[in-house]
Homo-oligomer: A and B are copies of this chain.
Amino acid sequence: MTSYIGVAGASQAAASLIALAETLGRRLAEAGATVLCGGGEGVMTAVSRGAQEAGGTTVGLLPGADRSSANPYLTVALPTGLGEGRNLLLVRASDALVAVGGGFGTLSEIALALRTGVPVIGLATWGLTLASKPVTAFPVVETPEEAARLALEAARDRPAKRQ
């Protein structure tokens, strides 16, 4: 069965992040994964474009009640009408999650994934501290190639049945 890899990232992002996201999408699609994201602009557009250009299947979980915010690189665009509630849907539907960049929505997806046992890979994203000391809650990588590789491995190793 194909792996579903979620990519969390903001609608506004620096050009360097956009480039990372596009490569990430391409690599995931080349490996046969279905790529899930929020379906909007910025990181979401880039990862969708990268994946679709590599022949992959892309799914966007949109926050609004219609498809007007969908980017043009989605195989399937699903309006949820849940606002930020779609962030949890993205996490639920992903076998592993790559978090790209520093949006608060992305942070919520990291947290929900950690909470619900979805493996997270970080790429130029948030770090955490407790009592001013760094906490390593998930692996952080430097390149989209490594993010794709780790996410695909984590997805493969994840038990099929879960709560």
Task: Enumerate chain A interface residues (CB-CB to B < 8 A).
Answer: 1, 4, 34, 36, 57, 59, 65-68, 75-76, 78-85, 87-89, 92-93, 102-105, 107-108, 110-112, 114-116, 124-132, 134-135, 137, 160-163
Residue of B83, B87, B107, B162 near A114 (CB, 8 A) is B107
In the bound complex, how far is the Cα of B102 from the Cα of A79, in angstroms?
Answer: 26
Given contacts A36-B78, A84-B116, A89-B89, 10 further A-B contacts (CB under 8 A): A59-B76, A75-B75, A76-B76, A82-B82, A83-B116, A88-B88, A104-B112, A107-B107, A126-B129, A126-B130
Name the one of B88, B105, B128, B160 contacting A126, with C-beta atoms under 8 angstroms.
B128
- Asked if A80 and B107 sit within 8 Å, CB to CB, the answer is no
In angstroms, how far is the closest chain B Cβ from the Cβ of A111?
A: 4
Contacts of A76 in B (CB 8 A): 34, 57, 59, 75-76
Query: Contact at B84–A59, with CB atoms within 8 Å?
Result: no
CA distance in complex: A98, B104 (Å): 17
Which 6 residue pairs across A and B have the least CB separation, nearest first? A108-B111, A127-B129, A107-B111, A104-B115, A104-B114, A78-B93
A88 lies within 8 A of B84 (CB) = yes
Cβ–Cβ < 8 Å partners of A93 in chain B: 78-80
Q: How far is the CB of A51 from chain B (nearest CB, A)?
A: 13
